[in-house]
Structure 1
Amino acid sequence: MTSRFAEPNPGELTRSQSVLCALVADVLRVSDVGIGDGFVALGGDSIIAMQLVSRARKAGLRITVGDVLRHRDIGALAATATTVDTAPAEDNGVGPIVATPVMHWLAERGGPVDTYNQFAVLRTPSTLTEARLTLMVQALLDRHDILRLRLTGTPWALETLPVGAVTAAVRRIDVAGRPEEDLATLVRQESDEARDRLRPREGNVVQAVWFDAGPARQGMLALVVHHLAIDAMSWRVLISDLETAGRELDPVPTSFRRWSETLNAQASAKATLAELPGWLERLRPGAARIGAVDSVPGRDRESRDRCFTLSLPGEFTEPLLTTVPALFNAEINDVLLAGLALAMADWHRRRGTAGDGTVLLNLEGHGRESALADVDLSRTVGWFTSLFPVRLDPGEPDWAEIRSAGPTVGDVVKRVKEQLRAIPDKGVRYGLLRYLNPETAPLLEKAARPEFCFNYLGRHRAADYADWAVMPEYGTGMDDTGSGMPMAHGIEVNAATVDREDGPVLRATWTWAGSMVSEVDTRELAESWFTMLRTLVAHARQPWAGGLTPSDLTLSSLGQNELEEIESELRAF
């Protein structure tokens, strides 16, 4: 049952407004948030929006991620909120799991999968004991069915085991007296050994290594989880559960098993089939290529030796997260991908490999799109990631004007924003057509394949000494494959924002396939992307920068040129 909140008395905040202002301030770690402030303008993104939705539901409010990102201020967001009158029931997720699109993608990728994992390193309370930690990890296993995943059969079959069937695997290492800065090598070594202890065919998909620094110092916990059971958003659920210090964990309204069944049921739905022509159009031949014509993605194996990380200083990252998206009523991904489209177009132009002037890439999303089913996924742990192709066309940029941060820069942002918004529901149905529908799968399998993959993982706090805080110096991408797994793309980028005491910093880790592209060329593209992002910031400082795009006006048939003419006339007053 849901119902609208009553209208406020003049000069007073409604409960929904008050609650949402407080929650936005909390998840974004800012103060004095009012109903006129905007979530995106304050630095919010889709992953943090998921956190906000989860906390709002806990406070008795129902909002969606789309609501959070679409409305320009919290007052408008509060007007869409409804009350949640009943507590969610536990959804039993024990039993067979129907493979999801991203699981099919992994199987298609080939190579060994037993050690494919994500890991995070957390600070632990000085008062923690091994017995207490073991109970806490066991509580995670018992509450979240997917952490009891077992891989069976060839080809794969998956199932979740009953509560109590899996015992917490916790290893304690005494590091009392050792300086924290000397522990990095040990943490990496032990995390690798924990990865090698994963046995998904035995139901062992979680390993915990506790670095016990003694009763006077915080320790560290390396959690290693098989990737089939976790993604970036799931980490936030698990960490929140650890912060409860072992108290009774909240129920999980929707199991991963139920979600997997929903995806398979939606694979033949009319709304899904209607998207097929659009995906085939995006995957048409002609886009710029990273490797040679005869290059084969997957020939190279994953290796830590073929990756590097670059950081964009806070003076540029801060406006990229706040000012620039607000000016264009855009999301952070729109801005980052506009800069990437320009960098890739220039990179290909200088090599004579520009093709038809478009760039084709795979984009990763969190995959928890409510458009497929009206279910509550805010407490669900699992691998939800969506992977879908995006064809970006920056037009025919005036490169001299680009370098001077002129109007062409804004034009590209608007073009890319509209191209991304033209993709229905964040691309979540592409995987259904590509892997779950036997009639459409062959058509998409034969289409062009992106050689580039981009993933933005949201914001993380650095220099945070709170108990259970993530230590991003050990990695914010968190993916780790072990040896032998083929690379899925010629170049892969995992980017994340690290919030430091002196401001946010955008960190991007680039990985390349040596048979397709060189390190020199990859670094050139990476540096060009950061150059374009700096250019976007410089452009945003111009008084005439920004503006709406046609998709912002849902009831209007105005084109971009007509819209800009109206905005220009309004500025003249």
Structure 2
Amino acid sequence: MWGDILGIETIGIHDNFFELGGDSIISIQMIARAKKFGLHLTPRLIFKHQTIAEIAVHAGATTPVDAEQGRVVGDVPLTPIQHWFFEKELPAFDHFNQAELLATDALDPDVLRLALADLIEHHDALRLRCESGEDGWRQYLDESVDTGILDVHDLSDVSDSDLGAVSLGIAEETQQGLDLAKGPLMRCALLELGAARGQRLLIAVHHLAVDGVSWRILLEDLGSCYEQRAVGGAPRLPAKTTSFRAWAERLRGFATSDAADAEFAYWAEAKPGGRVPRDRDGRNDLGSASTVAVALTPEETRALLRDVPRAFNTRINDALLTALAHALRDWTGDDETLIGLEGHGREDLFPDVDVSRTVGWFTSVFPVALRLAPGAEPLASLDSVKEQLGRIPNNGVGYGILRYLGAPEVASVLGEQPVPEVNFNYLGQFARDLPGIGQYAPANEPKGHSISPDGMRWNVLDVTAAVEGDTFGVYIGYSAALHDRQTVERLGDGMINHLRGLIAGSAEGRADSRTTPGIPLTDVGDTDMAAILKRFSI
């Protein structure tokens, strides 16, 4: 199981999960995969016992959790990230999607339709409906399973020179075909390109129903359902975990708990200004959006994922945010910077809740002030950044709960703080192949606009990092109305170069003189463990 998910052929039972390149998103995949074998794991367990040998001693049989196995219907409270979404002034709330384009071969459209219906039946969030009324937005889970969500297009006679434009037109139509009030929240297009070019499958899902972790679940289940339907069988998917509705209800209760109140002092701390320099004053709209991409080599990627955590006793986000903070300081000259962090949001808040296989939008978004010592190099800053991230309660999920579900006086204080203009999100690791369905299509092939191009961008710089196959990449979204491309390229190159400095430091064996030794966890009690888990970030 570890080998499959981490992409490593040979793993010893005493190898450390995080030193092998594991992260919190992968731990959720691990928990979901273990359920298929009747094993009950938790993020807390994986963090405390980081080797197969120790996990095997402490892992138990699956324990009861709050998880309805039938079709879940009815009203669903808005989650913090959904409140964040609906407070935006969007020109088209229906057109705010996430989409994946897959390279497939010889998929049968009729079998694919059955498999897609299986997904909507099993994953309740795909049946969400949202309505705007006098009291604001309301959402509920509908009873019906959407049909007619797959369109098949025969493009076998379209020339190579025209294929891009034709495919883009289909993608735009597909992405614009979602309806929050009436459904569907998922639409697909299967492009038949001819024997020599294969197929492309575009899947667009409204963001209210999906996030990065959800895509891993959906694509794995789609492949499984398709394979079973192709041989005439009825799909058998793993048992449901806690429903999105139950999770939303529990968050609403958590907002008024003592645990949430205890976080308020941290989130109310004074923050530095969040403004970054501009090359010009323009309109930060989606029509002016562009992206710069930079990357490490496969060898450097392996070192970042495995050597740096082993040498410095850190997690991947410690290194990435150290490099980003230094690149921002190189540009702005400021030792303090305010960054908006995104987390997967599926935190271990409730002992009877498991959302490892639940589809929905769980993302947490929260501000973090990073402070670098004047003149410090990245190697010297790594410990400090690690400690600052370690102070974040519950990996940041509490900020949105307090900001959008908490008492008005609490929400008011948080709402008046500076807003970060730089947003950072580490998406984790992605394998190219998708068993049972195909593989991810090349990134340069058209998927259409996932968000209406008529709207405004909410951040000045969107920094996204991910490992795709064997390559770590950083993608910086910006507005050409605010910044020259060369400015953003310098920021991206600076982050990559600072990461290379950390990689070089790990190779030189400087860990003992630069970092604090790891703390033995065998005798740590639940209270101390809860404090340690504050730094379990993606």
Q: TM-score range by the shorter chain?
A: 0.7 to 0.9
Decide whether the 8 Å contact of 1:364 with 1:386 is kept in 2.
yes
C-alpha deviation, 1:331, in angstroms: 1.5
Alignment of 1:17-36 (within 5 A): 23-36=1-14
**Is it true that 1:388 corresponds to 2:361 in the alignment?**
no
Rounded Cα–Cα distance in structure 2 between residues aligned with 1:478 and 1:35: 45
Rounded Cα–Cα distance in structure 2 between residues aligned with 1:151 and 1:378: 24
**Is it true that 1:327 corresponds to 2:311 in the alignment?**
yes
C-alpha deviation, 1:123, in angstroms: 3.1
Cα 1:196/1:479, change in 2 over 3 Å = closer
Decide whether the 8 Å contact of 2:219 with 2:434 is kept in 1.
no
Letter in 2 for 1:442: S
Gaps of 5+ in 2: 230-234, 525-538
Q: Deviations over 1:123-149 (max 9, x none)?
A: 3342x2221111111111111111111
**Is it true that 1:365 corresponds to 2:343 in the alignment?**
yes
Letter in 1 for 2:462: E
Decide whether the 8 Å contact of 2:341 with 2:368 is kept in 1.
yes
C-alpha deviation, 1:394, in angstroms: 2.0
Rounded Cα–Cα distance in structure 1 between residues aligned with 2:70 and 2:160: 41
Decide whether the 8 Å contact of 1:360 with 1:389 is kept in 2.
yes
Cα 1:384/1:181, change in 2 over 3 Å = farther
- 1:15 aligns with none
- 1:564 aligns with none
Partner-residue secondary structure (3-state), 1:209: strand
Decide whether the 8 Å contact of 1:460 with 1:472 is kept in 2.
no
Aligned counterpart in structure 1 of residue 53 of structure 2, from 59, 75, 78: 75
Aligned counterpart in structure 1 of residue 35 of structure 2, from 57, 61, 75: 57
Aligned counterpart in structure 1 of residue 423 of structure 2, from 446, 449, 453: 453
**Is it true that 1:347 corresponds to 2:331 in the alignment?**
yes
Rounded Cα–Cα distance in structure 2 between residues aligned with 1:38 and 1:94: 42
Higher RCO by CA contacts (8 Å cutoff, separation 6 or greater):
2
Rounded Cα–Cα distance in structure 2 between residues aligned with 1:188 and 1:251: 37
- 1:525 aligns with 491
Decide whether the 8 Å contact of 1:358 with 1:394 is kept in 2.
yes
Letter in 1 for 2:474: A
- 2:153 aligns with 173
- 2:260 aligns with 272
- 1:435 aligns with 404
Rounded Cα–Cα distance in structure 2 between residues aligned with 1:86 and 1:306: 47
Letter in 2 for 1:329: N
Decide whether the 8 Å contact of 1:457 with 1:477 is kept in 2.
no
Partner-residue secondary structure (3-state), 1:440: helix
- 2:465 aligns with 495
Q: Deviations over 1:178-231 (max 9, x none)?
A: 799985544433222111111112122110101124678752210000111100
**Is it true that 1:422 corresponds to 2:391 in the alignment?**
yes
C-alpha deviation, 1:456, in angstroms: 0.9
Partner-residue secondary structure (3-state), 1:388: strand
C-alpha deviation, 1:287, in angstroms: 4.3
Partner-residue secondary structure (3-state), 2:409: coil
Aligned counterpart in structure 1 of residue 74 of structure 2, from 80, 95, 98: 95
Rounded Cα–Cα distance in structure 2 between residues aligned with 1:415 and 1:320: 19
Letter in 1 for 2:262: A
**Is it true that 1:263 corresponds to 2:242 in the alignment?**
no
Cα 1:45/1:188, change in 2 over 3 Å = farther
Gaps of 5+ in 1: 1-22, 403-408, 557-573
- 1:84 aligns with 62
**Is it true that 1:252 corresponds to 2:222 in the alignment?**
no
Alignment of 1:174-573 (within 5 A): 174-176=154-156, 183-213=163-193, 218-244=198-224, 245=226, 246=229, 247-281=235-269, 284-287=270-273, 289-291=275-277, 300-303=284-287, 305-349=289-333, 354=334, 357-372=335-350, 374-398=352-376, 402=377, 409-437=378-406, 438-462=408-432, 467-471=437-441, 473=443, 480-499=450-469, 504-514=470-480, 516-545=482-511, 548-549=515-516, 552=519
Partner-residue secondary structure (3-state), 1:109: coil
Q: Deviations over 1:10-63 (max 9, x none)?
A: xxxxxxxxxxxxx10111121121111122222222222111110112211111
Decide whether the 8 Å contact of 1:280 with 1:444 is kept in 2.
yes
C-alpha deviation, 1:454, in angstroms: 0.3
Partner-residue secondary structure (3-state), 2:295: strand
C-alpha deviation, 1:445, in angstroms: 0.4
- 1:123 aligns with 103
Decide whether the 8 Å contact of 2:311 with 2:509 is kept in 1.
no
C-alpha deviation, 1:324, in angstroms: 0.3
Decide whether the 8 Å contact of 2:167 with 2:446 is kept in 1.
no
Decide whether the 8 Å contact of 1:147 with 1:206 is kept in 2.
yes
Rounded Cα–Cα distance in structure 2 between residues aligned with 1:307 and 1:374: 42
Letter in 1 for 2:51: D
C-alpha deviation, 1:311, in angstroms: 2.2
Q: Deviations over 1:339-362 (max 9, x none)?
A: 11111122211xxxx2xx211111
Cα 1:70/1:519, change in 2 over 3 Å = farther
Aligned counterpart in structure 2 of residue 46 of structure 1, from 16, 21, 24: 24
Letter in 2 for 1:324: V
Q: Deviations over 1:215-267 (max 9, x none)?
A: 78752210000111100111111111112124233332311111111111111
Q: TM-score, normalised by structure 1?
A: 0.82
Decide whether the 8 Å contact of 2:433 with 2:439 is kept in 1.
no
Cα 1:495/1:234, change in 2 over 3 Å = same
Q: TM-score, normalised by structure 2?
A: 0.87
CA RMSD, Structure 1 to Structure 2 (Å)? 2.9
Cα 1:341/1:156, change in 2 over 3 Å = same
Cα 1:217/1:483, change in 2 over 3 Å = closer
Q: More deviation in 153-162 or 260-269?
A: 153-162
Rounded Cα–Cα distance in structure 2 between residues aligned with 1:266 and 1:335: 31
Q: More deviation in 472-481 or 535-544?
A: 472-481
Rounded Cα–Cα distance in structure 2 between residues aligned with 1:254 and 1:77: 23
Partner-residue secondary structure (3-state), 1:158: strand
C-alpha deviation, 1:510, in angstroms: 1.1
Q: More deviation in 530-539 or 506-515?
A: 506-515
Letter in 1 for 2:84: W
Cα 1:439/1:477, change in 2 over 3 Å = farther
Rounded Cα–Cα distance in structure 2 between residues aligned with 1:475 and 1:49: 31
Rounded Cα–Cα distance in structure 1 between residues aligned with 2:425 and 2:351: 24
Letter in 1 for 2:391: A
- 1:17 aligns with none
- 1:18 aligns with none
Cα 1:464/1:473, change in 2 over 3 Å = farther
Decide whether the 8 Å contact of 1:125 with 1:468 is kept in 2.
yes
Letter in 2 for 1:250: P
Rounded Cα–Cα distance in structure 2 between residues aligned with 1:186 and 1:330: 47
Rounded Cα–Cα distance in structure 1 between residues aligned with 2:307 and 2:127: 43
Rounded Cα–Cα distance in structure 2 between residues aligned with 1:183 and 1:550: 56
